[in-house]
Amino acid sequence: MKIRIGFEIAFECVAPTPAILMLSVHPSRSQDLETPATMIFDPDIQARNFTDRFGNIGTRIIAPAGILQVSSETVVYDSGLPDPVLPDAEQLPADHLPHEALEFLVGSRYCEVDRLSDIFAIVSTTA
């Protein structure tokens, strides 16, 4: 199966602004791309890639004052099969989790823990 992927994003900055863009295809899928998923910047600016500890590619830029447009487009080949399901996977109590898993349980800007605290309070009082 061929899947067209890409994006067009515009930023408006009042002054030159450092930014990290997390918009790249994960390297584990790079062999599945029809063409490299290259980012195009308008106006053209310098961009430097780095790899984070999870293997994701980040792109460091200094967005200039004014409007910066960023885009990318390619085709990815995929089997179309659903992700594997493990119905017998065991759910461990929090105190039995390996140390390596704990960093995924702390609050972050991607997980609004203040919104979850009401849910956890209900669960803990009913359990």
For residue range 22-52, what is the model confidence (pLDDT) as tens digits?
999 999 999 999 999 999 999 999 999 999 9
The amino acid that residue 30 corresponds to is: S
Report the run of H or E that residue 126 belongs to, with start and end: helix 113-126
pTM for this entry: 0.71
If we measure between CA atoms, which residue out of 6, 8, 14 comes closest to residue 36?
6
For residue range 53-95, what is the model confidence (pLDDT) as tens digits?
889 999 999 999 999 999 999 999 999 999 999 999 888 888 8
Domain ranges of the chain: 2-77, 94-126
